[in-house]
Amino acid sequence: MNRFLKGLSYTFRRNIGKTDRIIRTCIALFFLGLWYLEVVTGLAAVFIGIYAIMILVTAAFARCGITYWLDVNTMSEAEKRALDAKGIQYE
Q: How far apart are CA 75 and CA 16, in angstroms?
A: 5
Lowest mean pLDDT among 1-10, 48-57, 58-67, 71-80: 1-10
Amino acid at 76: S
30 within 8 A of 89, measured Cβ to Cβ: no
The mean pLDDT value of the chain amounts to: 87
Lowest mean pLDDT among 2-11, 51-60, 81-90: 2-11
> pLDDT-based confidence at 68, cuts 50/70/90?
confident
The per-residue pLDDT for range 19-44, each reduced to its tens digit, is: 999 999 999 999 999 999 999 999 99
The per-residue pLDDT for range 41-55, each reduced to its tens digit, is: 999 999 999 999 999
